[in-house]
Amino acid sequence: MGTLHTYYTRPMSPPWSKPLDVDRLSEAEADIDFAVPLAELSRLRAQLASVSGEVRGSVHFRRMAGIAVAELTLNGTAHLTCQRCLESMDVGVEAAAQVGLIATEADAGRVPEELEPVLAPEGRISVGELVEEELLLTLPIVPLHSQAESGVCVVADAPSLARSGQEEEVQRPFAQLAELLKRE
Ligand SMILES: [Zn+2]
């Protein structure tokens, strides 16, 4: 009686993990909306022992001075672990970045100053990698609740907010290229 339907399908790789052709997208001035689960970003997970939550946002591609540009905006909430009390803490994330995508490190010098250079080897990068670069800069390296004078954690009702944006005047080279830029 009845048929047992069993589907042996491989889990499909989510759209945000697919490497994109940045030249083609920037010529087409494409827009991509995304939702990325933070627990699946391996470099972020390596830096922040436990991280979960999700960010959503969009990327708009365009060209500037012959460089493929990704305008990234994202927001969401990161669930982190406080390194003092080891309880969970939520950090709201709001970020906006203008990224200059370069195929090799040698191209870093061609990136206009207002852009953050990011490597897209062979002209390819995924939305997940773009988001991860931004979050590595935005999220606290050592997450901590705010502290009372007694030294204990104050667990606030509202999550703290980690924010980055292109309005900042501080030069924030992406972690990936920080070493390279230091040498110049
Ligand atoms: Zn704490």
The span from the CA of 27 to the CA of 111, in Å, is 17
Tell me what pLDDT residue 181 has: 56
Average pLDDT, the chain: 87
**Could you tell me the distance, in angstroms and rounded to a whole number, from the CA of residue 184 to the centre of ligand 1?**
40
2: helix, strand or coil: coil
**Could you tell me the distance, in angstroms and rounded to a whole number, from the CA of residue 129 to the centre of ligand 1?**
29
Residue type at 97? A
**Could you tell me the distance, in angstroms and rounded to a whole number, from the CA of residue 147 to the centre of ligand 1?**
8
**Could you tell me the distance, in angstroms and rounded to a whole number, from the CA of residue 82 to the centre of ligand 1?**
5
Instruction: Please answer whether residues 109 and 102 qualify as being in contact, where contact means their C-beta atoms are separated by less than 8 angstroms.
Output: no
Of 64 and 157, more confident: 64
Six-digit token pair at 69?
């540009």
Q: Let me know how many helices (H) and strands (E) the chain has, helices first.
A: 4, 10
**Could you tell me the distance, in angstroms and rounded to a whole number, from the CA of residue 154 to the centre of ligand 1?**
7
**Could you tell me the distance, in angstroms and rounded to a whole number, from the CA of residue 156 to the centre of ligand 1?**
10
* 26-41 average pLDDT score: 97
Instruction: Please answer whether residues 146 and 83 qualify as being in contact, where contact means their C-beta atoms are separated by less than 8 angstroms.
Output: no
Tell me the per-residue pLDDT of 58-95, one tens digit each, with 9 for 90 and over. Answer: 999 999 999 999 999 999 999 999 999 999 999 999 99
Instruction: Please answer whether residues 137 and 118 qualify as being in contact, where contact means their C-beta atoms are separated by less than 8 angstroms.
Output: no
Instruction: Please answer whether residues 36 and 128 qualify as being in contact, where contact means their C-beta atoms are separated by less than 8 angstroms.
Output: yes
Instruction: Please answer whether residues 100 and 67 qualify as being in contact, where contact means their C-beta atoms are separated by less than 8 angstroms.
Output: yes
